[in-house]
Amino acid sequence: MTTISKVSRAITRAVADEDGVVMIAAMLLLVSLAVMGTAAIMTSRIETRIAGNELLMKQAFYSSDAAAQESMEWLASRHSPPTTISAATTVVKLDGDGEPGNDYGGVDYDGTIAHSRYKFDVDYTRNKMVAGSSTTYREFFFDVNTVGVADGGARSEVSAEIAKIYRVDY
C-alpha cells in the first residue's frame, strides 16, 4: 500500500466518522439560547429602571405643578398691590426671604404632596394700565418659579408669569 492511499483512506475515515457532531451542535444551540436569555434579562432590567426614573420625574413634576397652583392661591390672597424696592427696579420678593429670583439652595420647602417636596418663589416684575379702564385699576405681573423634588432625588422646575388686577387709588 502506498502512502497516498493510506492518507486517502485516513481522510475518508475521518470524514465518515461523525461521532460528537450532534453534541457540538447542541452546545452551540445552548450557547446561543444563553446569549439571547441574557440579552432579554438585561433589556428588561433597563426598561424597569427607565420606568422607575420616569415615575420619579412625574412625581417631581406634579409636585412642582402643585407648587405653581399654591403660589397662585397665595397671590390671590394678597389684597393690595406690591410696592417697588427702588425707582431703579420693580422686582419685589413677595415670599419673605428677601432675594429676587430662584433661591432654592435651602432645605426648607413650602409643602409636600405625595411624599414629594415643593417650593415656590413669586416676584413682582411690572405693571400696566388695564385696557378699557381708568387709572383706577392696574394689571400687575409676577414671575412664579417653582421646584418639586421627589423621594428619589428627581427634580422638576416650572416657571410661569401670572397677572393680577388691583385697584390702586383707594
Please tell me the predicted confidence (pLDDT) of residue 108.
56
Please tell me the predicted confidence (pLDDT) of residue 16.
66
Question: Per-domain residue ranges for the chain?
Answer: 22-167
Residue 146 · residue 53 · CB < 8 Å = no
Give the whole-number percent of the chain exceeding pLDDT 90.
Answer: 20
Please tell me the predicted confidence (pLDDT) of residue 102.
43
Mean pLDDT of the chain: 79
The pLDDT tens digits for 151-163 are 888 899 999 999 9
Which tops the pLDDT comparison, 123 or 106? 123
Report which secondary-structure segment, H or E, holds 75: helix 21-76
Q: Strands 137-149 and 111-113, how do they pair?
A: unpaired
Please tell me the predicted confidence (pLDDT) of residue 107.
40
Which tops the pLDDT comparison, 107 or 2? 2
Residue 140 · residue 130 · CB < 8 Å = no
- Dig out the grid coordinates for 135 from the structure: 387709572
The pLDDT tens digits for 49-93 are 999 899 999 989 988 888 888 888 888 888 888 765 433 344 444
Which tops the pLDDT comparison, 130 or 98? 130
Predicted confidence band of residue 9 (pLDDT cuts 50, 70, 90): confident
